[in-house]
Amino acid sequence: MNTQTNTTSEQDTATQIFAGALVLADGSVFEGEFIGAQPQGKPFSGEVVFNTSLTGYQEVISDPSYAGQIVSFTYPHIGNYGVTDLDQESNGSYVRGIIVRDLARRDSNWRSQGSLEQYLIENNIGGLGGLDTRRLTRILRDVGAMPGAFGPIEGPNSFDLAELKQAASDEPGTDGIDLVEQVTCSEPYTVGSGSKNVVAYDYGIKKSILNQLANFATVTVVPANWTAEQCLELSPDGVFLSNGPGDPREVPYAVETVKQLLGKVPIFGICLGHQILCLAIGGTISKLPYGHHGANHPLRNELTGEVEITSQNHNFAVEKDSIEGVAEITHINLNDGVCEGLRLKDGSAFSVQHHPEASPGPHDSAYLFIQFKEMMN
């Protein structure tokens, strides 16, 4: 009887639910149920964006590119297949919080090593469930990504709506901030044992990208602030510029490094690396209203005419006219015409805005890693 009573008590504690709320910087209020880790003295805050992926929530949450952001999932059921170490994209989780319509009460999958909510607690990530994510998405789509703050509004560690509104107003978002320095590695490390020697700049690199490169290369991952001189001392066959969070205009040290590497070694960039390459060749970057976040974005390969379905995660984009004469556009987003890829006229470097490693997402663009290998040959 004592065992039965203790089990019931533990279940009651584990399932105790408190109301929570999200307040956007424009004053919009959304109420739901607080989930995940408890706040530590202040509300959770960040730039609120929406992601349209149907699966891959763990890969999204553990992607360093989401540093500084609160991610709202448009797909209604999140957490139904649990979490596993195999799907982790980094050694930590940099997302500021998550918002879901329906958090699965139990996980059901042979790969699962635990529930999503327990994962949130272990990684100090707060969240809100039971929210009207359709209404939230419509606001962000019409007005654009904006700062927000959330937390419990009842029970221990709770906040009132005025405190959440103030936290949302104080949140700077991702503009004008160097978020790369928060996610890059502190020391170089090596992955893989392939025949090619690749130096990968870590602006927030994903493990799935490293796995792709390791198929044919010995990859030395280096901090974002490594100089071109330090890089060339490793005698690389090629240099990879990784994905990462935030405003590419706030990492001038990375842009300067790429300028000095151009023409000396083949270069391949993805996501933030694509934007940094653009700046290095004299192009300009602008911020999109609400960005591209999802695993179902169509684009056209301008070199082949083929349509590819891609995984994307970015708030900034290359202005097409700014690279005219220096690079050719290789890929175009079919939703809004944004530049999704470029190739330098001299053939020394190329980059794409989308994620060919596809974690999560389709594998239509995986051929780009083979192109990089062939380029080094």
Residues 207 and 130 in one domain: no
Residues 225 and 372 in one domain: yes
Residues 277 and 368 in one domain: yes
Residue 5 forms part of a structural domain: no
Residue 25 forms part of a structural domain: yes
Residue 247 forms part of a structural domain: yes
Residues 165 and 240 in one domain: no
Residue 8 forms part of a structural domain: no
Strands 97-99 and 126-129: parallel
* CB 74 within 8 Å of CB 316: no
Task: Give Cα 2 distance to the centre of its chain.
Answer: 47
CATH number of the domain enclosing 270:
3.40.50.880
Residues 160 and 217 in one domain: no
Helices (H), the chain: 2-14, 57-61, 116-122, 133-143, 161-170, 180-183, 207-213, 228-232, 252-261, 272-280, 367-376
Within 8 A by CB and 6+ apart from 188, the residues are: 220, 221, 222, 223, 226
Residues 231 and 308 in one domain: yes
Assigned token pair, 116: 């999503």
> Which residues are 292's β-sheet partners?
314
Residue 186 forms part of a structural domain: yes
Residue 9 forms part of a structural domain: no
Residue 154 forms part of a structural domain: yes
Q: On the CB side of 365, how many CA atoms lie within 13 Å of its CA? A: 31
Alpha-carbon gap, residue 324 to 303, rounded angstroms: 16
Q: Mind telling me the catalytic residues?
A: 271, 355, 357
Q: Exposed (0-12), middle (13-18) or buried (19+): which is 192, by Cβ within 10 Å?
A: middle
Residues 219 and 299 in one domain: yes
CATH number of the domain enclosing 160:
3.50.30.20
pLDDT tens for each residue of the chain, 377 residues long? 333 333 333 333 345 789 999 999 999 999 999 999 999 999 999 999 999 999 999 999 999 999 999 999 999 999 999 999 999 999 988 999 999 999 998 999 999 999 999 999 999 999 999 999 999 999 999 999 999 999 999 988 899 999 999 999 999 988 889 999 999 999 999 999 999 999 999 999 999 999 999 999 999 999 999 999 999 999 999 999 999 999 999 999 999 999 999 999 999 999 999 999 999 999 999 999 999 999 999 999 999 999 999 999 999 999 999 999 999 999 999 999 999 999 999 989 999 999 999 888 899 999 999 999 999 98
Residues 145 and 284 in one domain: no
This prediction's pTM: 0.93
Domain stop point among 144, 170, 196: 170
Number of domains forming the structure of the chain: 2
Residues 187 and 331 in one domain: yes
Residues 66 and 188 in one domain: no
* pLDDT computed for residue 15 by the predictor: 55
In terms of residue numbers, what domain contains 61?
16-170
* CB 180 within 8 Å of CB 244: yes
Domain stop point among 149, 170, 191: 170
* pLDDT computed for residue 176 by the predictor: 86
Residues 210 and 163 in one domain: no
Residue 10 forms part of a structural domain: no
CA torsion, ordered 208, 210, 272, 364, to nearest 10 deg: -50
Domain stop point among 146, 170, 194: 170
Residues 362 and 230 in one domain: yes
